């Protein structure tokens, strides 16, 4: 009896997998070609080429941009230290003062 239950369960799993696969494939085939290729009426990036134009970010922008805009040095901010460390509080106060000089609160929101 246990063998019959396992074989029935396996058949149900396979049947469910088959139905799910067919549903997914059927859904993909019903997408209009304009979604992939665009049409003359569409206005999107790369319309003239029929594809998307990619505008890359500046190289190493995650570390260079904050340094250039805000004067932050990675590893010398309050987040580099545990909140129980005294250096965390000192740097947090300095960062807050710097943000206020830019007209922002300590979280970077406009005052």
Domain residue ranges of the chain, discontinuous segments joined by +: 2-30, 61-101
The top-scoring range by mean pLDDT among 10-24, 41-55, 72-86 is: 10-24
Q: 47-78: per-residue pLDDT in tens?
A: 566 666 666 777 877 778 877 887 776 667 77
> Higher pLDDT residue, 79 or 105?
105
Give the integer Cα–Cα distance in Å for 111 and 108.
9
Quick one: pLDDT at residue 43? 52
Quick one: pLDDT at residue 101? 92
Give the integer Cα–Cα distance in Å for 93 and 96.
5
**Phi, psi of 104, rounded to the nearest 5 degrees:** -120, 155
> Higher pLDDT residue, 61 or 39?
61
Bridge partners, residue 45, by sequence: none
CB 69 within 8 Å of CB 61? no
pTM of the full predicted structure? Answer: 0.35
Which pLDDT band, with edges at 50, 70 and 90, does 37 fall under? Answer: low
């Amino acid at each position: 009896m246990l063998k019959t239950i396992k074989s029935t369960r396996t058949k149900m799993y396979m049947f469910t997998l088959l139905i799910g696969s067919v549903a997914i494939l059927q859904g993909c085939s019903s997408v209009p070609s304009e979604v992939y290729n665009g049409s003359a009426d569409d206005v999107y990036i790369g319309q003239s080429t029929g594809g998307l134009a990619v505008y890359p970010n500046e190289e190493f922008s995650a570390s260079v941009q904050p340094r250039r805009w805000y004067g932050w040095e990675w590893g010398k901010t309050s987040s580099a230290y545990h909140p129980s460390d005294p250096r965390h509080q000192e740097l947090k106060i300095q960062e807050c003062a710097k943000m206020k000089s830019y007209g922002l609160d300590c979280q970077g929101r406009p005052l």
